[in-house]
Amino acid sequence: MRMKELVQLFKNYTGKSAPKIDPLPSSGSNRRYYRLRQDEVSVVGVYGQSKEENHAFIELSRHFHKQRLNTPRVLAVSGDEMFYIQEDLGDSVLFDALKAGRLTGVFSTEEKEILHKTIALLADFQVLGAKDLDFSVCYPQAEFNHRSVHWDLNYFKYNFLKTTGMEFQEDLLENDFDKLSQHLLQDESDTFLYRDFQSRNVMLVDGRPYFIDYQGGRKGPVHYDVASFLWQAKANFPDDLRDELIKTYIASLKKYREVDEAEFIEKLRLFVLFRTLQVLGAYGFRGYFEKKPHFIQSIPFALNNLRELLKGGFNEYPYLTGMLNEMVGLKQFADTQKRELEVRVFSFAYKKGIPNDVSGNGGGYVFDCRAINNPGKYERFSHFTGLDEEVIKFLEEDGEMELFLDNIYPLVDSHVKRYMERNFTSLMVSFGCTGGQHRSVYAAQRMAEHISKKFGIKVSLVHREQNLEQEF
């Protein structure tokens, strides 16, 4: 039935009747997405189980298109609004484009540029998107209000907090929920609250950010979306980059209104707390109840965000913060805060291949020692390795190895330091030479000793071709 309806819409719009149909990922949504292609034409077909939600997306998309905002155009809609086809924006998602930065905590110039471009466009979207918008089309709420705040707080309470088995006093918790709600709703707003503004909902089309999945949007304060984007559970933004992006956002917002920066940042902190609780509720529901693994895997990252946030204290909500501190310290969440880095150092022979990264994260370095004067050229060293005094003396007196390592130590040190700060658990550093016997063995041994002495973390050393292993 779904395919028949979507094919008919495709035919009505394009005049073509035999498209190739490929399902697309739906993530946490109950909507189903399909790419329909024939000849040079490609569109995205959507089946949504909620007519009200579909209507919201369709009407918002039409409005945003009139406002010349970067969103997909809705091309055709079924009579019952259960099916529609929209513009195909391709497959480039901001979340994927930031993969290297997310994994290492070190974002490249190109990654930073697209982040600044995206956060600046958010302010345009919130202000221009609200202009002349009939907010009554929004679903399930037309505006961010007391009811919607309590829905989200109770979402957290029932779908995450209660699943932990913690005992707590609901009346005291509700008192703090009421206070938090009052503070979040202090200021009237006339802007569009995107609701789920995060890097998975930003497409890149020729390097330009396009926004999708805004059907849960409503009238509301701008802080919520900034919190959603910059504190996304797996974003892994370092504090300095997050601060830069906040400044870029404020500068963009100032095109439309006056902004007290100190007041904005103080208010933002409350929305980060609120958004983090809402996200934990969503992860609990989608993960624990709907058994979707992506959401379960995201819980430790959200809890780490919450731990960092609680360090600043929220004195106005004493029971809530006390309960949250107890929650993040529960035994079942202990592994999310005691993630310790292990550095694995290898020596190897290039002719036998680069060592495999069994962790799967691919983080680290491979250094080529073959440009260094080779002890293996001399018969007298043929029965020795880089661990033997004779080879050590040769390499150190020659001087090339010392200069080589002096250039490498700072590079690896900065990587280890950042990995420790970001609670990553695996880093790999490998040294290769011709036979994996002299130069690479010496270099790997020195590097392992250096890291262990400087950082005091676990270092596993493997001289692969010598069948030797050592732990520090």
- Per-residue pLDDT of 214-255, as tens digits, reads 999 999 999 999 999 999 988 989 999 999 999 999 999 999
- Domain ranges, ordered by start, for the chain: 2-87, 94-335, 342-471
Mean pLDDT, residues 350-376: 88
Main-chain phi, psi angles of 280, to 5 degrees: -60, -40
Tell me how far CA of residue 209 lies from CA of 66, 70, 92, 141, 258, in angstroms: 18, 7, 10, 27, 26
Q: What is the pTM of this model?
A: 0.72
pLDDT tens digit string along 451-468? 999 998 889 999 999 988
The pLDDT assigned to 347 comes to 97
**pLDDT tens by residue, 58-109:** 999 999 999 999 999 999 999 999 999 999 999 999 999 998 888 778 899 9
Give dist(CA 83, CA 315) in Å, integer: 49
- pLDDT category at 276 given cuts 50, 70, 90 is very high
pLDDT digits (tens, 9 = 90+) for 292-336: 777 887 888 899 899 999 999 899 999 999 999 999 988 777 655
Topology adopted by domain 2-87: Phosphorylase Kinase; domain 1 (3.30.200)
pLDDT in tens, 156-199: 999 999 998 899 999 999 999 999 999 999 988 999 999 999 99
pLDDT for 340: 77
Q: What architecture is the 94-335 domain classified under in CATH?
A: Alpha-Beta Complex (3.90)
Condensed to tens digits (0 to 9), the pLDDT of residues 7-19 reads 999 999 999 998 9
Kindly tell me the number of DSSP H helices and DSSP E strands found in the chain. Answer: 15, 14
Residue whose C-alpha is closest to residue 385's, from 468, 470, 471, 472: 468
3-state secondary structure of 360: coil
Q: How far apart are CA 99 and CA 97, in angstroms?
A: 6
